[in-house]
Amino acid sequence: MTITLWHFLAVAAALFGIGLVGFLTRRNLITMFLCAEMMLQGVAINFVAFARYHANLHGQVFVLFILAVAACEAGIALALFLNLYRRRRSLDTSDWQELRETGVPAATDDDPLPRPPADPMPVLTPAGARPAPTAEEAARV
């Protein structure tokens, strides 16, 4: 059995569709970013499939540029996510309503999800310092 253009297009459409559904239904910024990357990979498969079908390398070259831009985008997105999380301790998109343009009304959810409990950030012991023993450890000694 040979793999035809339609096989590539089916896989690419599935990737793009799953990414689109995930992007539209999720509210976590990291999940939305990963779904957008999945859609981008579906488009890249289309470029490679059509380049193979037409027996030229233009699609592969274009995919190399897409991958380079996606790598740069991932680094910038990670820096933004870290900065946003440090400010609000949340990556929920509804927490960032004040970043919209002036004069644009705030988007509201019909049935908002309950807020997760705020967990304090873990505190690591300084390097070289021995942590204080717990009650169980003290009783064993």
**What pLDDT is stored for residue 112 in this prediction?**
66
Read off the pTM.
Answer: 0.64
Three-class DSSP labels, the chain: CCCCHHHHHHHHHHHHHHHHHHHHHCCEHHHHHHHHHHHHHHHHHHHHHHHHHCCCCHHHHHHHHHHHHHHHHHHHHHHHHHHHHHHHCCCEHHHHHHHCCCCCCCCCCCCCCCCCCCCCCCCCCCCCCCCCCCHHHHHHC
The structural domains of the chain, with segments of one domain joined by +, span 29-96
Mean pLDDT of 88-102: 76
55 pLDDT above the threshold of 70? yes
29-96 CATH fold: Helix Hairpins (1.10.287)
